[in-house]
Amino acid sequence: MTILVTGGAGFIGSHIVDALLADHHDVHILDDLSGGFRHNVPSGATLHERDVRDAGIADLWQEHGFEVVFHLAAQMDVRRSVADPRFDADVNIGGLLNVLEAGRSRGLKHVIFSSTGGAIYGEPEYAPQNEAHPLNPLSPYGITKLCSEKYLHFYHHTYGITWSALRYGNVYGPRQNPHGEAGVVAIFAQRLLAGQPTVVNGDGLQTRDYVHVRDVVAANMAALSKRYLGTVNIGTGVETSVNQLFRIVRDTVAPEVEELHGPAKAGEQLRSILSWEKAHRELDWKPTISVDEGLRETAQWFKDKDTVNSP
């Protein structure tokens, strides 16, 4: 198939591109490189350095006839979404609508959308949170992801484009960008390796469901083959505190560093934990990499990368 991956030069997107190329698809990447990197683009994929909001992307459809889109291009920083909700909506909702409008009359059949389980539900009314949990996002970022899912439902109902929305937990792994606020594993690893102060916000007891990028890629590939219609969580069902996460990463890359705590971030969600039962039922998917194993492997990847890049 001819497939477009928006945000394909980024962390998760580039791993998905690798998997699609291994399956011998014709893969194109749409990425403005504001958060992704040219060195993440593998040989065999075609990079179109364009903003996802660029109205001219309809020309790409005219030329290549993409059948499937993996939509990952997004403003993904929760704190930036709070500070600038207008920009967040412009990229996350406006960008998706631009892609759907470009493709709907030019052969687009299916969209696999990277949604969020960590931000779309809000604080748990019960745990683990399944797809029937009330949707009470606490950030503009979570709101735009929920709105995007509703637009995908509209485009299916009106134009027949099928869609799968994968609601990720906190994804981590090799290639994660340590700059910005999204990706605490990468941030901790990078700062520890650089000998910079590494601060845990608040008491560090806030928890997240950390899922390894290889498991996320497997879920995306399952969604492609099964063309599941609707939403599904992609997580581990395991809560890991920020304190636990910090200590695993610290013990791998810089065990001599002491643990520092700073002020809590206003409005930060305290808990997130996702049920993956529906993903197992609908996609025949389940998480395979334990948090402890995955965090140590990822921290080691950053350590090895730092060693290679050192003078």
Give the pLDDT score at 308: 47
Quote the pLDDT of residue 307.
Answer: 56
* Residue 138 and residue 179 share a domain: no
Long-range contacts of 224-228 (CB under 8 A, 24+ apart): 224/68, 224/110, 224/112, 226/282, 226/283, 226/284, 227/110, 227/162, 227/164, 228/164, 228/282, 228/283
* Closest among 167, 179, 191, 196 to 279, alpha carbons compared: 167
In this prediction, residue 31 carries a pLDDT of 96
Length of the chain: 311
Q: Is the pTM of this model over 0.75?
A: yes
The active-site residue out of 121, 126, 141, 159 is: 141
Looking at the structure, do residues 114 and 65 belong to the same domain, yes or no? yes
CATH of the domain at 152: 3.40.50.720
Q: Quickly tell me which residue has 């930036």 as its tokens.
A: 80
State whether 144 and 88 are in the same domain.
Answer: yes
Q: What is the pLDDT of residue 190?
A: 87
The CATH number assigned to the domain holding 187 equals 3.90.25.10
Verify that 249 and 116 share a domain, yes or no: no
Note whether 19 and 150 are same-domain residues: yes
Q: For 160-275, where are the alpha helices, taking DSSP H only?
A: 184-193, 213-226, 242-253
Same domain, 133 and 192: no
- Segment (H or E) for 210: strand 210-212
Per the annotation, the verdict on 141 as an active-site residue is: yes
Question: What is the tally of structural domains in the chain?
Answer: 2
Q: Report the pLDDT value the prediction gives residue 311, as an integer from 0 to 100.
A: 42
Token reading at 37: 């990197």
H-type alpha helices, 38-174: 57-64, 78-83, 85-89, 95-103, 140-159
Q: Assess whether 27 and 72 both reside in one domain.
A: yes
* The pLDDT value given to residue 179: 61
- Together in a domain, 117 and 220: yes
Q: Does 158 share its domain with 250?
A: no
Give pLDDT, residue 221: 98
pLDDT for 201 equals 86
pLDDT for 183: 78
pLDDT of residue 180: 53
- Give me the residues of the chain with pLDDT under 50, please: 308, 310-311
Is there a cis peptide before residue 128, judged by omega within 30 degrees of 0? Answer: yes
280 and 226 both lie in a single domain: no
Please check whether residues 155 and 178 belong to one and the same domain: no
**Range(s) of the domain holding residue 181:** 172-207+238-309
19 with 142, same domain: the answer is yes
